[in-house]
Structure 1
Amino acid sequence: MASIQDIATLAGVSKATVSRILNQDPSFSVSDVTRNRVWQIANQLHYKLANVANRNHQDKLHLAIVTALTAQEELTDPYFQEILAGINEQATLWGMKIADSIRLPANNDVDWQNLAVYGAVIIVGMLSNDVLATIYQYNKNVVIIDDNRIFDNYDVIQNDFGRQTKRLLDLLFAKGHRQITFIGGEKKLVGEQKIKKSELLDVRHQAYLDWMTLHQLEAYKDTHITNWTSEDAMQVTKKILQRAKRPTAIFASNDLQAIGIYRVIQEMAYKIPDDIAVVSFDGIEMSEYLYPSLTTVRPATKEMGKEAINLAREKLVGDRESAIQLTINSKLIIRDSI
């Protein structure tokens, strides 16, 4: 019996295009030449429209991922690796399949209409508002992971880094620290074919500024925004420690930055935490084996990925219409660096 894949191969189009034509999707824009060719081949192969109806449930269990991550981030960043692992693990549990993946920015135009055939679209990272609106135009079941903006129409899963930032700062304050330097990374908005710097501050950066103001420490505010790597943090830390007045504590936005900070502090013969305390985020395995061991916040990143699938499934099998904003709690690990 002929399949949609057989028709797509002979017609020179995607399976999604064939499915939407045979389902007579009124929102699908395609040339009359392509539409007629698909129908002609389907008739020649004696394809039965009942086959399309039988696929409806299966297509709903197929999901698409749109990611703002680079290939390197997917391969090397533990934070995003765990999110993706959670997505795949939970999708398998519920019999769902990641059927398509789109990485932005793209080198060519993206055929967004194809997203209409999937049960839901999972977004990882911060996409520009125009791209989000385009995705929503073709698929109303949108779940966004790792974006702290507030939306009316999209489900959002975020971490609790703002709250955990204040907890770390409270710990430092209780130990007498007032000159606390913040090292963070740039937030970027990813569009269809370009990346631009976000005007929004990272939630840790904003929480640091708010906390310093609340504790009347404006005079000690000291922020340095760079890339998220150890190498970039090393360069920034060298400049910080060459100043006449050095901080008594450094707040790193991730453990990779903290590793670079450790190296510079120790190369300059300072001691952690006696001279400079260090705190961080991510809770990667290496953080436990630094000397002294690093105080860090471990996000439940795999759970974030799993909950994205759960929210997608909830919208598919239930009747929920309102968007949900879900915060996943992290774990504060107090070690010897403070």
Structure 2
Amino acid sequence: MATIKDIAAKAGVSIATVSRVLNHDETLNAQEETKKRIFEIAEELEYEVRAQKKRRRKLKIGVFYSYSPEEELQDPYYLCIRLAIEKKLEEEGYTKVIVKLDDSPEMINGLDGVICTGTFTKKMVEAIEIWECPVIFIDADPNPKRFDSIVVDYRRAVEEIVSYLVGCGHTKIGMIGCREVDKDGDEVLDTRIQHFQNALKKRGLYHPEYTKFGAYYAKYGYKLLKEFYEEGNLPTALFVANDSMAAGSYRAAYELGLKIPDDISIIGFNDIPTAKYMVPPLTTVRLYMEFMGEYAVKLLEERIIHGREICVKVSIPTKLYIRDSVKKF
């Protein structure tokens, strides 16, 4: 099993720096690139943060997934997070309990804590706020004064995508993003869309006709790329909201006789295991999904055991994996 010492040696930094980065010490004065490299090496070496060996009791942890098993299969992002959570709970010897919003207060309050993943409506959050046990959210931050959370630094991720595409010579840059309606009937807008628009606007490259919206499924990547083509508004490069949608866009390009990357360049998001086996291999943004799941268990454990009252929000960096799906002019 990899140690902090192994990570420090490979990253070329001190053991103390690695420890502080992995524990998200905000007082540490380190460059973002250094932090990203440490997270990347930790993921590569399959490093796992060890919890305290001496525990007062075996914890009973609830897990609440806001999405259905069918939705999870459509988007492997949450699948990877869930498997990491469940693996870590098993390794620590904790009891896992699947939680539902209509569970009784007695059942919920009998848990030591709950991990929530997915997207959440206002009504869901209001129901969760009633729970008396510690709660941590993954990929959501509904109430930073009430809950711990682990989120992705989407702004920096999108800025890196746009910078790379512009550096490759692209000026006609589009996005297939996500815009859905939640169970309460409220619109859920992909926050990356605003970051994408801002990144292009400051470069004088934003064109609204190059942005389309769908859901996080492959069929929308397929459908929307074809719409761009049929409308005569096909950009030279597309940022697609996730790798599953990017796979759909690949299929559409093939059917239209478009070559990737010569006729259309595509960048995905998530770096699911199959991304590097697509033809051509997909350039995409790596999210440290396994680390997010494991670290959620650690943060929740810390709050339960030590009684920490101040909420913590952890922002995880990303890494752009450059493969063969983007053309350089």
Same fold (TM over 0.5): yes
Q: Which residue of 2 aligns with 1:177?
A: 170
1:136/1:225 CA distance change after superposition, 3 Å: same
After superposition, where does 1:1-338 map in structure 2 within 5 Å?
A: 58=57, 61-102=59-100, 109-149=102-142, 151-187=144-180, 189=182, 195-219=183-207, 222-338=210-326
* 1:131-165 C-alpha deviation (Å, 9 max, x unpaired): 32332323240100111555211001112233111
Amino acid at match of 1:240: F
Could you say which residue in structure 1 is the equivalent of 2:12?
none
Gap change, CA 1:187 and 1:273, over 3 Å in 2: same
Identity %: 29
Choose 1 or 2 for highest CA Rg.
1
Cα separation, 2, equivalents of 1:125 and 1:187: 14
Aligned residue pairs, count:
271
Q: CA RMSD in A?
A: 2.1
**SS of the residue 2:189 aligns to:** coil
Partners in 1 of 2:73 and 2:232 — Cα distance? 40
Q: Distance in 2 between matches of 1:260 and 1:160?
A: 25
Cα distance in 2, alignment partners of residues 324 and 248 from structure 1? 41
Unaligned runs of 5+ in 2: 1-55
Deviation at 1:245, TM superposition (A): 3.8
What's the offset of the Cα at 1:94? 2.5
> What code does the residue aligned with 2:249 have?
I
Distance 1:149 1:173, change over 3 A: farther
Aligned counterpart, 1:14? none
**Structure 1, unaligned stretches of length 5 or more?**
1-56, 190-194
- Quote the offset at 1:92 in angstroms: 2.2
Q: Structure 1 residues 196-205 or 176-185, which shifts more? A: 196-205
Summarize deviations over 1:26-73 as a string: whole Å, max 9, x none.
xxxxxxxxxxxxxxxxxxxxxxxxxxxxxxx65x71011121111213
Between 1:243-252 and 1:220-229, the stretch displaced more is 220-229
The answer to whether the Cα contact below 8 Å between 1:124 and 1:146 also exists between their aligned partners in 2 is: yes
Give deviations 1:265-309, integer Å, cap 9, x for gaps. Answer: 222222222221110112122221222211001211111111111
Partners of 1:196 and 1:215 in 2: CA distance? 37
SS at match of 1:246: coil
Q: What are the superposed Cα offsets for residues 78-104 of structure 1, whole Å, 9 maximum, x if unpaired?
A: 2111111111122123321112332x6
Change (3 A) 1:112 1:177: farther
Q: Distance in 1 between matches of 2:110 and 2:248?
A: 46
1-structure distance, mates of 2:186, 2:319:
27
1:75 CA displacement: 4.2
* TM-score under structure 2 length normalisation: 0.76
- After the TM superposition, which of the residue ranges 247-256 and 77-86 deviates more from structure 2? 77-86
TM normalised by structure 1 equals 0.74
How much does 1:76 deviate?
4.9
Deviation at 1:237, TM superposition (A): 1.1
Amino acid corresponding to residue 336 of structure 1 in structure 2: D
CA distance in 2, matches of 1:264, 1:288: 19
Q: Distance in 2 between matches of 1:211 and 1:329?
A: 18
Deviation at 1:220?
5.3
- Counterpart contact for 2:74–2:244, Cα < 8 Å: no
Hey, what's the Cα distance between the residues in 1 that align with 2:163 and 2:316? 21
Kindly tell me: are residues 64 and 245 of structure 1, through their superposed partners in 2, closer, same or farther at Cα, counting changes over 3 Å? closer
